[in-house]
Amino acid sequence: FYRFSNRTPEYKYLKERRKALGGPQPSRGDNSKPLAVPKVSIFKELIEGTGTREISTTMAYVRLLTILTKDKKIGKHVVPIIPDEARTFGMDPLFRQLGIYASKGQLYDPVDSEQFLYYKEAKNGQILEEGINEAGAVSSFIAAATSYSNHGIKMIPFYIYYSMFGFQRVWDFIWAAGDMRARGFLLGGTAGRTTLNGEGLQHQDGHSHLAAAATPNIKAYDLSYAYEIAVVIHQGMQEMCQNNKDVIYYLTLENENYTHPAMPKGVEEDIIKGLYKTHSTKSPTIRLLGSGPLMGEVLAAADLLKKDWSIEPGIWNVTSFSELRRDAEEVERWNLIHPDKKQKKSHLEKRLSQHKVPTVAVSDYVKMVSEQIAPYVPGKYYALGTDGFGRSETRENLRHFFEVDRYYIVLTAIRALALEGKMDMSKADEAIKKYNIDPEKPSPITV
């Protein structure tokens, strides 16, 4: 290390440059004005459910984005960013509505120019369509996500991409975005190791939520229903645009179509915290936790448990295992260093401490995702997940291969109750035969 004398030109130059940069202490200011975030009721059609119509969570998100961009107050601050999968995500209607930004406008005749929803580029386009370039797209995300500080204008970037090509490909950029106090939404589309069927191990994401859980400024959610998406994104916008919180929200979205119910009353806060009750029973003998697209398998398993085995489970929807873990850890830390104060309770304790029964937790991600909360849940805890490489198969076969379908959930529940002395272990063997489960099947982690 060489230190210049105070009288040298080099020393004076360095001092001047450091002063021009705001002084020796690195800082990021916020001179932007708060944005008027619309009420959550703007997403009324998502909150009220789809009736008999089947849609995916990706389609629900695209509808939400369409509503947002049409809002007169906040619409122009929304920055949709896509690497190259816009049509895969069903976002092509936005081509016509918003246009794709091109600094010199449309310089060619696109092959789909005769279609209504053609690839429309414009100088005033709002969509950033970056081609097969996740590094460039996440850089655009960072630029928009730090605009509040660099330009004094709050922007709300929504960067959607193939889930597997997010954290796995550009985690270093996402980490840097946290260091830069970025604010925005990352959306992993076609997510879930068994939900994206037929595309093999290159595309089937079953572990991005582990990376998200390890990134301090990211709040990660794996959502089942349209109303959850509306509630979570609305909460994120309030935190970023009104409360000036330096957070990035990560949502995984899937391509499986099913009906979406209307939002139950009074669950908004629990959705944000990570866990809410789907079905209650006075004295459940077992507890089922479902997450994201596998909530359907959990509900189907609950029906089988009641119909075939006279077991009445309590059913809970987990919107965020990582938020539940963080909350529980924060409460545990506070209690540790405040032994003389009234001890606090985590959201998990408040919701689950009434019944000390076995818990079966199911997600479309590796077991470690749902195992994050195991130390804080009363009773024995069993995690079902998708450890192993993905493969090209049907959704039904993938879920059976990874042992996360309704039959493995039922088998796990029966065995858990047998280990508690609540059922005879022979019932587990009976379930194996009844549901055609192959005991000699190889473990999915090994093949």
CA distances from 83 to 68, 131, 199, 218, 285 (A): 21, 5, 18, 21, 47
Query: Which of the pair, 132 or 402, is modelled with greater confidence?
Result: 402
Class of domain 40-259: alpha beta
CA distances from 233 to 3, 41, 289, 371 (A): 50, 12, 22, 25
Cα separation, 420 vs 358, in Å, equals 8
pLDDT for residue 115: 80
pLDDT for residue 13: 96
Domain limits of the chain? 40-259, 273-446
Query: Which of the pair, 241 or 120, is modelled with greater confidence?
Result: 241
Give the 3-state DSSP-derived string for 208-258, with helices as H, strands as E and coil as C.
Answer: HHHHHHCCCCEEEEECCCHHHHHHHHHHHHHHHHCCCCCCEEEEECCCCCE
Percent of the chain with pLDDT over 70: 100
pLDDT for residue 31: 86
pTM, full prediction: 0.94
* pLDDT tens figures, 17-35: 999 888 888 778 888 999 9
User: 270 near 227, Cβ under 8 Å?
Assistant: no
Half-sphere exposure of 39 (CA within 13 A, CB side): 2
Same fold, 40-259 and 273-446: yes
* Amino acid found at 252: T
User: 220 near 250, Cβ under 8 Å?
Assistant: yes
Least confident of 59-63, 87-91, 191-195: 87-91
Q: In 10 A of CB 106, how many CB atoms?
A: 17
Cα separation, 118 vs 7, in Å, equals 64
Q: Given CA atoms 256, 222, 383, 263 in this order, what sign does their dihedral have?
A: negative
- Looking at residues 45-54, what average pLDDT do you find? 97
Taking the alpha carbons at both ends of the chain, their separation in whole angstroms is 54
* Amino acid found at 3: R
* pLDDT tens figures, 286-308: 999 999 999 999 999 999 999 99
pLDDT for residue 119: 82
Query: 273-446: which CATH topology?
Result: Rossmann fold (3.40.50)
